[in-house]
Chain A
Amino acid sequence: MRRTLRQMIPSMFHRRLLLLGVVACAVFMLLLARTAMLASGESKNQAVLDCAKSLEVTKVTPTVRGRIFDRNGLVLAKDIGGYDVAISFELITEDWAIKNAQFATKFHIRYVANPAGKYFTKAEEFELYNEKLAEFNNLQSLFWYNLTDLAGVDNEIVQERKQEILKKVQRQSSLNVYWKERRLEELWGEELNWREAEFTIAEESDKFKHIVFRDINKDMQRKIQELRTEAENAWLEYKYARSKKSDDLIEKRGIYEVLSVWSGVEIQRPRQRVYKFEEQLVPMDRSTLPKPIRSNQVQEVEVGGVGLPILGIMRDVYAEDYGEGTRRKPYRDKDGNVDLKGYRSNDLIGFWGIESTMEDKLRGWRGFQTKKLGEVIETVDPIRGEDVNLTIDIFLQGRIQALLSKEYGFFKPQLWHANEVQNLPFAGSVVVLDVETSEILAAVSAPNYTLKQYRDPKTRKKLVQDQVNRPMWFRPAFLHYQPGSTVKPLLYASAVTEGQVSTGEMIYCGGVFDPKTPTRFRCWIHKMFMSKHESINGSKAIGVSCNIFFYTLGKRMGVENLVKWYKKFGIGSRPNSLITGESKGDLPRKDQYVTGTAINMGIGQGPMTWTPIQAAAAYATLARGGEYISPTFVKPEDRLDNKQVTRNIGLNQAGVMIALEGLKHVTTERDGGGRFLKYADKSKELIFNHPDLDIVGKTGTADAAAQKFIYYDDKGDVDSYGKILKDGDHGWFIALVKRKKDKHYKYVVLSVVDYGGSGRAASGPIVNQVIHAMKAEGYLGGENEGDVR
């Protein structure tokens, strides 16, 4: 073959040329074949589809978040239209000035200096850049000044908002980098490092505009639109002048440089969340108040933050809210799939309360419109989020909040309070719960905070740092106290069921539980008056709150049995009332299972605590004769899969009857612990002034550890404790209420005052006024009954 070739083409050069020609031909054939392969068959069909798809432009249409209603159908939270101002990331950082100074320097050299025959050295160029940088820094500062001025917002708020955005972008970027790394790791099966990160962060931050001012007024919106249009026109004119190399190029560039800052601003039109009854002006009747503060006037009390801890608010969504491993999905996942309910930057998400727990129900689906070459080809309408109906009555909530306000009188020391609480700032909570359904009609924590206070960074900081009043705590669900004597009726009914005491059994109270240790386990009557109750039955023991009777029951039951029964009443597990920050309450650990613990737990002391909401639910269980229904803030039909827990705990009905009789003794008998309000001058008056109602209940004065100043470390964990801020006992009053004509108790009304001392004095009058408030709002046969409901 080789020889033949040599004979045919004797010249080596020509043989080699032939070789090169053949190679070139073969390679071109390969290219043609590959082109033909790509441009035919399946890959062609797919590409045609893809190309058709690429002609489509899809615009997302925003959705509306579901509304939140109170039990009477009043809208508590809803979305309204509004305008937000979003600003490019480079204007939020210093990058805008740097970038523009670079451009301006280049422009100056090319169009001003070079044509005039001036060429720059590196040093001169740097000097010019610095001059330009100073100019652009000024422009940027002026821009922020003007914008802040237009919005009428404090500069500090704007600075804080900028910091928040920087933080958010950092989070977002690190998550994007994480995703990107994961994707490449999947592809190459190798672990990658952070080198890629630098690119991604720059891209992400450059592209996005971030909302700095929310809900601006029409004037500001119009002004910004005007400036944006001017900036756009200036850019077009400059571009035109440059393409035509016209004489006014430098002048046009100058105008554009000054206005260009406004092209980094964008007016967005999302929806604002408003909370309608968050502020209320409540007319409060003072004629039924205890003697020292009683008058015939109607006082108007202004309250703010009504229901706020229950409703919650919205905040910016963070990347980790919808990152991998979370329930929620991003708007566009790493494979490019779109979830119309998913989240993306600048979205809002429920922060706490119902807004947070019911996020999935409230959040709607975005819609979109796809246009192909300007023609609409597909429209998917947004689906609004579902509404959520709450069990609270927002006006009752407002009234109760008003009566816990300092100006109304209960939350400052009064003549009926014990001496030791005279100088304390008061705090506490009230819960009203419907016995039949365990729906919570009102849950108020005082002192509290308003939306305005929370949104202003300065006052928010004060709220968070206020260790004396702790306004940020939602006490009804979060704070857990020892029950004290309020646990006695529950224990009695349980002990009867367990057969540890018979319904007619009398137990002897000699003042002390064990005469051998007379200073340990004493009855309150012994502590205060060196007296005793002597032989006493169950209902009277509850009525006079005899400690010895319940020490005995506690001892007989033993810790294990007590824990079992208290658990049945809901202590030790979160009530799942569908708000955030619920506590479980405490029950003894295994190593605390000793007789002493059992005796203590007989009177609601020792290693056991419950939250006011748990307490209300436990009393409702007793009132229902042993049917436990977990408390709820959301109407049962709106709870989706998260249904209320219901169970019959199997209480002996005779035991329940005697326990309820005991509660009646408390408020109706002369020796009942919750009948009279007593004053220092030995005078007294009835706590409850509702002749038309049956009100029974139990007082409780619970031991409490002192509230100390807490020092936190850098991570926000408790570092050490400082001076004592508050000390004393917590004062409970838990009442069951019904109209005379009703067969069953309708509501649990509960009040607890932190470090308020005696439950009778601190909480009794509050419960009485809550019942007045309920009547004013139409419950329990009040005047307005049937008005709204």
Chain B
Amino acid sequence: MTDALFDNLRALLKPSIAWFTLFAAVMLTIFGSLAIGTVEAGYGETQVKMWLPVAVVAMLVVMIPHPRWIGHMTYPLLILSLISLVYLLVPGVPMVRPINGARSWITLPGMNLQPAEFVKIFFVLGLARYLRYRDSYRTFLGLFVPFILMFVPLLLILKQPDLGTALLFAPTLFAVLVAAGAKLRHLLSLVALGVFAIALVIVVTLFAPDNLQLLKPHQQDRIRSVFSLAQGDDRTANADGFQQATAMRLISAGGMSGYGKENSQTIISYSGLPEAHNDMIFAVVVNRWGISGAFSVIALYFIFITSALLVAARSKDPFVRLSCVGFAAMIFTQSFVNIGMHLGLLPITGITLPFISYGGSSLLSLFIITGLVMNFAVRPNAILARPSFEYDNADAIYQ
């Protein structure tokens, strides 16, 4: 038993593609701590000295169990995490303190834990677990169950409300379904439906009278400001679109090589950019390091995502394959939405930039993901109980 464990651990240290994943994760975290240090002295250090070790320990822990065991624990953990989301919404329960009107955190001694961060992980694992041996979702109606699997946590998170996190679920589901071989025309028709719904919301926001509005006033303003800023109309820049306009200005001013630490510190503090260490950290990165900073960050995300996809490609375990795709899709969506809102392509939604934004729970969950990817990378072979989701993998080994 002990020998087996040591064998396992030794295997973990073998070079694998997942080392690129780890490299990207650590580099992004260091980048993040420097960026955070630009705007909130002390926070950057906390991120590296306090949260990074905790996250690395968590990463090492999740590297130990075999993917099979992880698969066994997936459903109970998913249910447990969903219960924690329900708990957050029960009025008057202890250890839940609304912050800025959102019931998203459980107060523990020394830290605030954000259960949604962990639900994201278990959602991906749960989805992979559900899809691994099936092909039912290749019919249109077969998509029903995966969608239910998405809507339960999605609605609970929307209720907190935490629109940013909730936004990640649908793209992740789509990516996993694409990888699992769902019919593209089914998915595209659903995407078309979604796009139509979003377009409808935008049209209603822009043109409908007040009594027919669907979104809350502050959400309407954000959508309007994206359109007005994109049209070069800076009249909302002093009011509703302030956050976005300021971020765009700071990014533009960064130029090729940025302002450097001290100048950037002054400029950002005078600009009054809200949430600079958190949601709006990409503006800080580009302002300090310029386009080269942006390129580095985006390149690191690309490394993270491609290496995770390569791990999926090398693995023969359908659960591992789909989990890795899910994690890659989640990081991709989160970084795209965050950077997109900085560049004026998407409205402000309150979503963090993975690894770079300040936040303990977030870093913890991201390193758990990294640990899982590393774990999966060194255990590419699997003994299957049934044929996997992939109809043409003739070389599979069955139990």
Which of A24, A55, A190 contacts B332, CB < 8 Å?
A24
- Residue-wise, chain A 9-52 has the 8 Å CB interface mask toward B (1 for contact) of 01111101101110011011001101110111001101110110
Residues of A in contact (CB 8 Å), total: 48
Say whether A11 contacts B390, CB under 8 Å.
yes
Say whether B235 contacts A19, CB under 8 Å.
no
| Chain B residues closer than 8 Å to A191, beta-carbon distance | 209
| Chain A residues closer than 8 Å to B325, beta-carbon distance | 17, 20
Say whether A35 contacts B266, CB under 8 Å.
no
User: A571 vs B252: C-alpha distance in the bound complex, in angstroms?
Assistant: 69
User: A511 vs B373: C-alpha distance in the bound complex, in angstroms?
Assistant: 125
| Chain A residues closer than 8 Å to B270, beta-carbon distance | 54-55
Which of B294, B313, B336 contacts A35, CB < 8 Å?
B294
A17-B302 in contact given A35-B291, A40-B256 (Cβ < 8 Å): no
**Is residue A530 contacting chain B, with contact meaning CB distance below 8 A?**
no
**Is residue B46 contacting chain A, with contact meaning CB distance below 8 A?**
no
Would you list which residues of chain B between 299 and 340 have a CB under 8 Å from chain A? 301-302, 305-306, 309, 312-313, 321, 325, 328-329, 332, 336, 339-340
Which of B94, B253, B329 contacts A51, CB < 8 Å?
B253
User: A190 vs B209: C-alpha distance in the bound complex, in angstroms?
Assistant: 8
User: A44 vs B248: C-alpha distance in the bound complex, in angstroms?
Assistant: 10
Would you list which residues of chain A between 153 and 194 have a CB under 8 Å from chain B? 180, 183, 187-188, 190-193
A178, chain B: closest CB distance, angstroms = 15
**Is residue B217 contacting chain A, with contact meaning CB distance below 8 A?**
yes
Say whether B181 contacts A13, CB under 8 Å.
yes
**Is residue A122 contacting chain B, with contact meaning CB distance below 8 A?**
yes
| Chain B residues closer than 8 Å to A199, beta-carbon distance | 217
User: A183 vs B240: C-alpha distance in the bound complex, in angstroms?
Assistant: 12
**Is residue A373 contacting chain B, with contact meaning CB distance below 8 A?**
yes
**Is residue A321 contacting chain B, with contact meaning CB distance below 8 A?**
no
User: A47 vs B287: C-alpha distance in the bound complex, in angstroms?
Assistant: 11
| Chain B residues closer than 8 Å to A36, beta-carbon distance | 291
| Chain B residues closer than 8 Å to A34, beta-carbon distance | 343, 345
**Is residue A195 contacting chain B, with contact meaning CB distance below 8 A?**
yes
User: A203 vs B340: C-alpha distance in the bound complex, in angstroms?
Assistant: 30
Say whether A192 contacts B252, CB under 8 Å.
no
**Is residue A721 contacting chain B, with contact meaning CB distance below 8 A?**
no
Say whether A28 contacts B302, CB under 8 Å.
yes
A188-B253 in contact given A121-B92, A199-B217 (Cβ < 8 Å): no
Say whether A24 contacts B92, CB under 8 Å.
no
**Is residue B100 contacting chain A, with contact meaning CB distance below 8 A?**
no
User: A530 vs B179: C-alpha distance in the bound complex, in angstroms?
Assistant: 124
Say whether A50 contacts B313, CB under 8 Å.
no
User: A122 vs B217: C-alpha distance in the bound complex, in angstroms?
Assistant: 29
A122-B178 in contact given A13-B321, A36-B291, A51-B271 (Cβ < 8 Å): no
A626, chain B: closest CB distance, angstroms = 60
Which of A17, A39, A47, A188 contacts B313, CB < 8 Å?
A17
Which of B206, B329, B393 contacts A20, CB < 8 Å?
B329
Say whether B252 contacts A24, CB under 8 Å.
no
A24-B305 in contact given A31-B339, A55-B266 (Cβ < 8 Å): yes
| Chain A residues closer than 8 Å to B228, beta-carbon distance | 187
Say whether B94 contacts A119, CB under 8 Å.
yes
| Chain A residues closer than 8 Å to B332, beta-carbon distance | 24, 27
Closest chain B residue to A194 by CB distance?
B210
Residues of B in contact (CB 8 Å), total: 63
Most buried by B among A11, A28, A183: A28
**Is residue A335 contacting chain B, with contact meaning CB distance below 8 A?**
yes
Which of B249, B301, B321 contacts A47, CB < 8 Å?
B249
Say whether B181 contacts A12, CB under 8 Å.
yes
| Chain A residues closer than 8 Å to B336, beta-carbon distance | 27, 31
User: A35 vs B338: C-alpha distance in the bound complex, in angstroms?
Assistant: 13
**Is residue B26 contacting chain A, with contact meaning CB distance below 8 A?**
no
User: A582 vs B178: C-alpha distance in the bound complex, in angstroms?
Assistant: 84
**Is residue B166 contacting chain A, with contact meaning CB distance below 8 A?**
no
Say whether B253 contacts A17, CB under 8 Å.
no
User: A723 vs B345: C-alpha distance in the bound complex, in angstroms?
Assistant: 76
Would you list which residues of chain B between 146 and 198 have a CB under 8 Å from chain A? 175, 178-181
User: A119 vs B251: C-alpha distance in the bound complex, in angstroms?
Assistant: 46
User: A489 vs B207: C-alpha distance in the bound complex, in angstroms?
Assistant: 73
**Is residue B391 contacting chain A, with contact meaning CB distance below 8 A?**
yes
Closest chain B residue to A51 by CB distance?
B253
User: A466 vs B354: C-alpha distance in the bound complex, in angstroms?
Assistant: 75
Say whether A187 contacts B252, CB under 8 Å.
no
User: A10 vs B393: C-alpha distance in the bound complex, in angstroms?
Assistant: 9
Say whether A44 contacts B210, CB under 8 Å.
no
Most buried by B among A13, A191, A195: A13
Say whether A24 contacts B181, CB under 8 Å.
no
Most buried by A among B252, B286, B343: B252
Say whether B390 contacts A39, CB under 8 Å.
no
User: A119 vs B107: C-alpha distance in the bound complex, in angstroms?
Assistant: 13
Closest chain B residue to A19 by CB distance?
B178
Which of B92, B249, B255 contacts A40, CB < 8 Å?
B255
**Is residue A127 contacting chain B, with contact meaning CB distance below 8 A?**
no
| Chain A residues closer than 8 Å to B175, beta-carbon distance | 20
Closest chain A residue to B321 by CB distance?
A13
**Is residue B115 contacting chain A, with contact meaning CB distance below 8 A?**
no
- Residue-wise, chain B 240-280 has the 8 Å CB interface mask toward A (1 for contact) of 00000000111111111000000000110011100000000
B195, chain A: closest CB distance, angstroms = 15
| Chain A residues closer than 8 Å to B329, beta-carbon distance | 20
**Is residue B295 contacting chain A, with contact meaning CB distance below 8 A?**
yes
A55-B255 in contact given A11-B392, A16-B181 (Cβ < 8 Å): no
Would you list which residues of chain B between 197 and 243 have a CB under 8 Å from chain A? 206-207, 209-210, 217, 224, 228, 233, 235-236, 238-239
User: A47 vs B254: C-alpha distance in the bound complex, in angstroms?
Assistant: 9
User: A558 vs B347: C-alpha distance in the bound complex, in angstroms?
Assistant: 79
Say whether A12 contacts B301, CB under 8 Å.
no
Say whether B253 contacts A47, CB under 8 Å.
yes
B222, chain A: closest CB distance, angstroms = 14
Say whether B252 contacts A44, CB under 8 Å.
yes
Closest chain B residue to A35 by CB distance?
B294
**Is residue A336 contacting chain B, with contact meaning CB distance below 8 A?**
yes
User: A50 vs B287: C-alpha distance in the bound complex, in angstroms?
Assistant: 13
**Is residue B143 contacting chain A, with contact meaning CB distance below 8 A?**
no
**Is residue A196 contacting chain B, with contact meaning CB distance below 8 A?**
yes
Say whether B391 contacts A12, CB under 8 Å.
yes
A38-B251 in contact given A122-B92, A190-B209 (Cβ < 8 Å): yes
Which of A21, A32, A43, A119 contacts B306, CB < 8 Å?
A21
User: A28 vs B339: C-alpha distance in the bound complex, in angstroms?
Assistant: 10
| Chain A residues closer than 8 Å to B67, beta-carbon distance | none
| Chain B residues closer than 8 Å to A54, beta-carbon distance | 267, 270-272
Which of B91, B236, B286 contacts A39, CB < 8 Å?
B286
Which of A17, A24, A193 contacts B179, CB < 8 Å?
A17
Say whether B390 contacts A13, CB under 8 Å.
yes
User: A36 vs B252: C-alpha distance in the bound complex, in angstroms?
Assistant: 8
**Is residue B298 contacting chain A, with contact meaning CB distance below 8 A?**
yes
**15 additional contacts (CB under 8 A) given A44-B253, A187-B236, A188-B207:** A12-B181, A13-B389, A14-B313, A21-B305, A21-B306, A32-B298, A35-B343, A40-B255, A40-B291, A47-B253, A48-B255, A54-B267, A55-B267, A122-B91, A196-B217
Listed in ascending order, the chain B residues whose CB lies under 8 Å from chain A are: 91-92, 94, 175, 178-181, 206-207, 209-210, 217, 224, 228, 233, 235-236, 238-239, 248-256, 266-267, 270-272, 286, 290-291, 294-295, 298, 301-302, 305-306, 309, 312-313, 321, 325, 328-329, 332, 336, 339-340, 343-345, 389-393
Q: 14 A-B contacts, Cβ less than 8 Å apart? A: A12-B392, A17-B309, A24-B305, A24-B332, A31-B339, A35-B294, A38-B248, A39-B294, A44-B252, A48-B253, A54-B267, A55-B270, A187-B224, A190-B209
Listed in ascending order, the chain A residues whose CB lies under 8 Å from chain B are: 10-14, 16-17, 19-21, 24-25, 27-28, 31-32, 34-36, 38-40, 43-44, 46-48, 50-51, 54-55, 119, 121-122, 180, 183, 187-188, 190-193, 195-196, 199, 335-336, 373
Nearest 5 pairs of A and B residues by beta carbon: A47-B252, A47-B253, A51-B253, A35-B294, A34-B343
